[in-house]
Structure 1
Amino acid sequence: MDAAMEQTISFQGHVLFWSSPDNTNKLCHRCGKLGCAPNFCPLKQTRGRSRTRDPVVKLKERFNVNQSRRSNSKTANARSRS
């Protein structure tokens, strides 16, 4: 175990380090640092999902949902009178 702890290992450009089992509940789940709080983590804003007010806004724009439709009253009236 001591030999493994002396090795420097990295994963996807991040240096990994060993921590004792007693400290695992004190590690930040965003950045992995000991003592960093996830609510105040500097990676909270950069790694999180972007929040949109309406998750289906692109679909609504694509299919013209909630947009006013032009009424063709002239053609409707012409058909009903004939």
Structure 2
Amino acid sequence: MLRTGKQPHPHVCSPRSIWEYDGQTAQIDYLIVTRKHRFVLECRNLYGNIEINNTRDFIRTMPAGRGFKKRAFIHPSHKITVI
């Protein structure tokens, strides 16, 4: 755990946490805890142009040869299960 900050906003940052519950596991890139809030951060190493369409799909456009290639991927919030 990395403890940083001084009053009035002390917080704890925990990088790369593995959580287990009811036989399920989840990997969290960063968990930041303050007195009032908890933040779960997912980090991605993406390149290209990222667009979000009106149905919340992520579409990445990347250079490919002389043109461009598009690839859709799942919105990160769709991977979350609330218990």
User: TM-score, structure 1 length as denominator?
Assistant: 0.18
Higher strand share: 2
Higher helix share: 1
User: TM-score, structure 2 length as denominator?
Assistant: 0.18
Instruction: Identify the structure with bigger relative contact order (alpha carbons < 8 Å, sequence gap 6+).
Output: 2
